[in-house]
Amino acid sequence: IASDELGSDQVQLWFADPTTEQMGFHFPVGTNRFNIFSPTARRTADSYHPANWVLVYTRSGSTVQSVSDAAKVPLYDASSNVPGSLFLALTFTNQGSVGGSIVGTVGWTIPATTDLGYTAQYNVYQAVDAAGTQKKNLQSVYVGTNELVIPDGTTCSDGDYIVVYAANPNGESSQAAVVTPSCPTTTTSSLV
């Protein structure tokens, strides 16, 4: 497990073979499922960087696959909790050449110390204010995706604000990160 897709602060998980009761760091070839048992903590080698990713490497003898070639899966805590508010730095520049339209890409950066364990996706909306009033769904993207191209045909009449919420099957964070206003050309940072 690691704090990011680059394998930062990674901690190796143990494999327990139920047929032989042997434990080790190496999973047998053909293993395509793994249960992480209690009391495994969801943390990395650096206590300030939570475990947000599972990385799976192949090994041949003493040679381990590179991080760039490893399989990567976001680590998600399937509890009944909704995500907490996240600190996201949002950017957006409206590239619309026609008045009243929103064209461009909204992007966000997540601090390295952010715990994404309860976040499965980001819901991106257009709203009439920073509080997310009358929000209109633009699209949802999975964790690991940090930008969204605003869909064609998006107009300012549905709101001047782009708001991003952390979400999972249990709901959304109580507050959104906000880029405002979206209709004029602008770049703004905001906290959720």
Give yes or no for residue 189 having a pLDDT over 60.
Answer: no
What pLDDT, in 10s, does the model give residues 47-99? Answer: 888 888 888 888 888 888 999 999 898 888 888 889 988 888 899 877 876 67
What pLDDT, in 10s, does the model give residues 150-183? Answer: 888 888 888 889 999 999 999 999 999 888 665 6
Identify the burial level of 67 via C-beta atoms within 10 angstroms of its C-beta, where 0-12 means exposed, 13-18 middle and 19 or more buried: middle
- Give a yes or no: residue 30 inside a domain: yes
Give yes or no for residue 129 having a pLDDT over 80.
Answer: yes
pLDDT at res. 62: 85
171 and 97 in one domain? yes
- Give a yes or no: residue 141 inside a domain: yes
Domain of 94: which CATH number?
2.60.40.10
- Give a yes or no: residue 189 inside a domain: no
pLDDT at res. 185: 43
pLDDT-based confidence at residue 146 (cuts at 50, 70, 90): very high
pLDDT at res. 17: 61
Q: Parallel, antiparallel, or unpaired: how do β-strands 53-56 and 71-74 relate?
A: antiparallel
pLDDT-above-90 percentage for the chain = 28
Contacts within 8 Å (CB) and 24+ apart, 72-80: 72/5, 72/144, 74/116, 74/120, 74/142, 74/143, 74/144, 75/1, 75/42, 75/51, 75/116, 75/117, 76/117, 76/118, 76/119, 76/120, 76/143, 76/168, 77/42, 77/117, 77/118, 79/118, 80/170
Matching residue, tokens 């099957």: 169
- Give a yes or no: residue 79 inside a domain: no
Give the pLDDT mean for 138-147.
92
The amino acid that residue 96 corresponds to is: G
Structural domain containing residue 131: 89-179
pLDDT-above-70 percentage for the chain = 84
Other beta carbons within 10 angstroms of residue 176's beta carbon come to 28
172 and 96 in one domain? yes
Mean pLDDT of the chain: 83
- Give a yes or no: residue 59 inside a domain: yes
